[in-house]
Structure 1
């Protein structure tokens, strides 16, 4: 009898703890999700895949919670996902000694990067994007697991770079990190871009007589899985025509779709033609 009482009490405690953790998670609430614990993992079920992706895109805020709670991994399932799920691992918090700055939005590193971008400083833009430690970029991310891709993105963030993930099929923006400074994005920050069809930014490539930067990118990155220091023009949200320089990587599967990963320096851009 005492064993049953203890078991019931533990279930009640787990239920309260699960509700408390869910209340701390972004996007979800009691109307669209359920959460429970499985050993050292947390299982989150949400109503739609769109909601699952939204939770996944908030990994920057979720990883510290997992560390605080002593949770190894949060597994995000959605209605109809079967055995498929999006994982967020607390192990990502130890991928770099500098990752702690990522969780402190007032850290000197973040302020330094935003300041550089705000004045569009060119003092270090002549230096190559540092991808040391990720040799053979044409194959490193080719068949990488979700965890490997996330590790790469987090490390690039720690080195001070903007990282963007875009669906290769629909051109939908899947993720932009927090180093997308307002001046570079015409007042838009990282999360403002998620869900946007990026093809609209490439529209000048399709005008008669213009060089098709978009098609060149798609052809090369699909063939070689990597293109370094890609020089291209985009039409910014305010109407300016701007030049950007980025590394692009192709991955076979990111959030269940083939995607291109873009790594850029926050201040490495220039206005070619001002709309105003």
Structure 2
């Protein structure tokens, strides 16, 4: 969660030249020419370029004047795949914001995102150091939100590890539904809590990650217990059988779990194992309900 990653060493000026030589519209050529001019005049000199053990503060002027006849969003939609093709952005296998791997089987796909929002900083729309791969969830939650005083930049921000501040609980709602609740401890710094809750909505991503994992476990339980449970008509006896299995044989093995690659994932799964074994009754009921026996 909130990881520091290594950026690609890319030549932005060369990228602009390469893009300008492609088969593009006159309006796009004007935009690229202006981006070159701004770069050559030092408009990007204040962009962060040093690793810090804290959040960054914005020292870059906004610029919303580059895109006139063509919308910045439309320009980005055209150029996203071109930027990816030139391989100027670090190609990573997990989202640095939430720390979860891009698991295609869970629907977790990576998408290119701007650190400084393109809608306010036109001059940074294709600047490689301003682009990073986030998961679709974190990308969508972030949108154009931007804290100018506390910037988390995956290439330059080195934060302490706050994975242990994640709180995981299981509870039974008033409607009888059993669900998992994720929070971040109030002992974490306010800036980190704001990132977790407001900027990226990470609790929702972790809840989905846990449910995706549990769904894969349910498929296994169907093979082990499905027929046996359906032969038992008494609900309490079904629960006792499942509780016995969970108490005696079940564990979330972080070393063998194929969905436990990053440090954040290992922490979440360890906490899930603790929750399961301290709430055997609720978890047994959850599994049986989801198996629809």
Measured against the shorter chain, the TM-score band is under 0.3
Q: TM-score, normalised by structure 2?
A: 0.27
Whichever structure has more helix as a proportion of its residues is 2
Question: Larger C-alpha radius of gyration, 1 or 2?
Answer: 2
Whichever structure has more strand as a proportion of its residues is 1
